[in-house]
Chain A
Amino acid sequence: MADFEIKDLRASVEGRQILKGVSLAISMGEVHAVMGPNGSGKSTLSHTLMGHPGYTVDGGSVLFKGQNVLELEPDERARLGMFLAFQYPVVVPGISMANFLRTALNSKRGYDGKDKSKQVTPKEFRSMMKSELEVLHMDDSFLPRYINDGFSGGEKKRAEILQMAMLKPEIAILDETDSGLDIDSIKFVAEAVNRMRGPELGILIITHYTRVLEFIKPDYVHVLVDGKFVLSGGPEVAERLENTGYAEWGHAEEEPKEVA
């Protein structure tokens, strides 16, 4: 049995059903890519998996560590080991990235303000931070800045991956992490993600374009169209999409290759 199992997931937004029965099994160490044209349900999938309140689950289950995570609050899912790298990271004014990261790290470790042994020490925090920043070609000048406030597109995406590196999830969902990034930023992000790859981590990359998959090689590729998987297979599926696009499923106008 896989470590993370999505079974027949159905979800709707504002009364409109978007996911119409999605099943997917991820084992530790694997990288899965979900590809699909606009409106196919990609972001509904990522948001539903993490528990966004705007998405209603109509059926199915998501099993992880013996629990149906669909019954958990987003923070509980995160503490269980899930992570979502947002397509559009949210601006939260007045809270520094450093404070945010430290609070998140403490929550992840179960520090509730009492047991000081669980608290991340300033020294530990600094050293963790330092090595991750280097990989992402970032400097610590962004630490005192407010969460995503005034960040460029590339900075936002890198900050997401930085959070992932710090929080060390077991299941990471990367939602369109490549969109809006220049080629250098994609490389930095991919390098950081590839560093984390290993038997301790399962990755779900959600993307419209094949480009990011040149840098983060997937083990499996699934094509999502109209809320259902229409094709699943190995890396060759991405190659096929690169050549023919989503045309065979009636989305001829959409190119899976980003025009630079």
Chain B
Amino acid sequence: MATVPKIEVGADYKEKYGFFVPEEYVFKAKRGLNPDIVTEISWMKQEPEWMAKMRLRSLEIFRKKPMPKWGADLSVIDFENIFYYLKASDKQSKTWEELPPDIKATYDRLGVPEAERKFLAGVSAQYESEVVYHSLQESLTKKGVIFTDTDSALRDHPELFKEYFGTVIPPADNKFAALNTAVWSGGSFIYVPKGVHVEIPLQAYFRINAENMGQFERTLIICDEGSFVHYIEGCTAPIYTTDSLHSAVVEIIVKKNARCRYTTIQNWSTNVFNLVTKRAMAYADATMEWVDGNLGSQITMKYPSVYLMEPGAKGDVLSVAFAGKGQHQDAGGKMIHVAPNTTSTITSKSISKAGGRTSYRGHIKIYPGANNCKSFVKCDALLLDDESRSDTYPYNDVDAENVTLGHEATVSKVSDEQLFYLMSRGIPRAEAETMIVNGFIEPFTKELPLEYAVELNRLIQLEMEGSVG
């Protein structure tokens, strides 16, 4: 019978991504969530009073809001059994050499320095709850671009920070946005001045490295008029035995004629609850693009959205979800057409295998008076076996005239004909299946910088391993 050769990339996966570095924390918060802990977080960070108050107010909102009843089952999350803040080292490091050795070891294995050599403009690597390593190319500074961790931004750019923080996603928006606002730590802050184009993607790496530690990063990006930036976050996570919560908030403001692209490739370990709120406001003739790849995690609920605030604004969501055994990827996008003559597209690709479940959940809202809007949604699902599942939940509210709204959805299986064709050329079944899956998400992959495209294809290969009998 056929022997399925072991795919090379899997061999060093555990070594490369599934390791732990012994914890050496300067400060370790207690488990659980209450006003004292929230106050302590703010105090540790020496934050201004308005932030401390906002955190406490958000905690109250979090307490009052019920758990979402739709989407995935979140009842298993025990909020009292989570660390809400950990600080790995006392101070921020400016150069690689200054980093504590254990943290350096982590990033060595992740390949951060190598990636930086290649084309990084700045690395903002989040270890535990806080950004500890951060370098910024001089050319960026000269152009007036601010790229820093969010905690430093609050300290160093207080006015800019206060003007925008929480304006796109207020704490009362949803339960998890409230939780994030109460306990947030780390994340990236980017300000791109008028007319400045940042040619090289800005990147950050996120990891969770302590059991039961929540990760509540907060990212705020402001693209001033006529500017451009591409921000990339790549996530890999070690393997855990107990549940972990990741609940981030990403707020983006794209002003007139500006363009922002936000790329995520995440691969949380399969016990992580990944509940993220991502939203952008796009003003006149501005473009916002979310490129969102969801692998790993136990449950992901994520619907990047764009509020199209002024005429000519354009929003794009391009997402990929992969759900394996015991995983539920509930992802999609939201396009809110507030102004006339705005356009949006959502392209969603999902893959389910070994009983995994993917759901596309999307919302297109076109407000009264937002005439002549165009929106197109395309979702394609690929099922790798009979036990897997895929659902589509599109919601459309159209209250304007002369609107073009398109929706296309397909569900397919890896076809016998395609498999036979590839195998008839000598390609083993497992490899052929991986090729077909990578081909299926190619419209997504081709939007990524080469390094990430290669990494994503490797991750797909890993996910596919053992899926064929």
Contacts and interface: CB of A to CB of B under 8 A. Distances in A.
Are A and B subunits of one complex?
Answer: yes
A104 B431 CA distance: 10
Interface stretch (B150-158, B222-230, B390-398, B414-422): B414-422
B133 to A, nearest CB: 33
Interface string B252-264: 0000000000000
Interface in B11-69: none
A156 B261 CA distance: 38
A49 to B, nearest CB: 10
A79 B426 CA distance: 5
A107 B5 CA distance: 11
B8 A104 contact: no
A75 B421 contact: no
Contact residue range for chain A?
35 or more
Nearest to A88: B417
Interface stretch (B238-246, B363-371, B438-446): B438-446
A32 to B, nearest CB: 20
A20 to B, nearest CB: 24
Nearest to A95: B439
A74 interface: yes
A235 interface: no
Nearest to A92: B418
A200 interface: no
Contact of A78 (B426, B431, B441): B426
A150 interface: no
A104 B443 contact: no
Given A90-B417, A92-B436, A75 B423 contact: yes
Contacts, number: 95
B7 interface: yes
A72 B428 CA distance: 12
Given A73-B1, A112-B5, A167 B425 contact: yes
Contacts of B424: 50-51, 74-75, 77-78, 83-84, 86
A79 B429 CA distance: 13
A165 to B, nearest CB: 13
A136 to B, nearest CB: 17
Interface residues of B, number: 30
Contact of B9 (A86, A95, A113, A163): A113
Contacts of A167: 425-426
B435 A95 contact: yes
A94 interface: yes
B431 A107 contact: yes
Contacts of B440: 93-94
Interface in B410-468: 416-418, 420-429, 431-432, 435-436, 438-443
Interface in A26-58: 50-54
Contacts of A132: none
B2 interface: yes
A73 B2 contact: yes
Contacts of A108: 425-426
Given A54-B416, A73-B2, A95 B423 contact: no
Contacts of A79: 426
Listed residue (A78, A83, A94, A112) with the most chain B CB atoms within 10 angstroms of its CB? A94
Given A93-B440, A93-B442, A86 B421 contact: yes
A112 B428 CA distance: 10
Contacts of B436: 92, 95
A76 B2 contact: yes
A215 interface: no
Given A53-B416, A92-B436, A95-B438, A78 B8 contact: no
A51 B429 CA distance: 13
Given A53-B420, A75-B2, A113-B8, A104 B427 contact: yes
Contacts of B5: 112-113
Contacts of A53: 416, 420
B435 A107 contact: no
B408 to A, nearest CB: 15
Contacts of B422: 92, 100, 104
A48 to B, nearest CB: 12
B416 A100 contact: no
A56 to B, nearest CB: 14
A89 B417 CA distance: 9
Nearest to A79: B426
A67 interface: no
Interface string A116-138: 00000000000000000000000
Contact of B429 (A73, A94, A99, A113): A73
A11 B418 CA distance: 22
Nearest to B432: A75
Interface string B352-389: 00000000000000000000000000000000000000
A92 B438 contact: no
Interface in A90-112: 90, 92-95, 99-100, 103-104, 107-108, 112
Contacts of B442: 93-95, 146
Interface string A167-211: 100000000000000000000000000000000000000000000
B432 to A, nearest CB: 7
Contacts of A163: 425
Given A75-B2, A94-B440, A89 B426 contact: no
Contact of A107 (B1, B2, B421, B427): B427
A114 interface: yes
A136 B441 CA distance: 31
Contacts of A54: 416
Interface string A60-74: 000000000000111
Interface in B131-165: none
Contacts of A95: 435-436, 438-439, 442
A93 B440 CA distance: 7
A92 B421 contact: yes
A168 to B, nearest CB: 11
13 contacts: A75-B2, A75-B423, A75-B425, A84-B424, A90-B420, A93-B439, A94-B442, A95-B436, A95-B439, A100-B422, A103-B431, A107-B427, A147-B421
Given A50-B424, A92-B439, 5 more contacts: A90-B418, A92-B435, A94-B439, A100-B425, A107-B431
Interface of A: 50-54, 72-79, 83-84, 86, 89-90, 92-95, 99-100, 103-104, 107-108, 112-114, 146-147, 163, 167
CB-based closest 3 A-B pairs: A94-B439, A94-B442, A113-B8
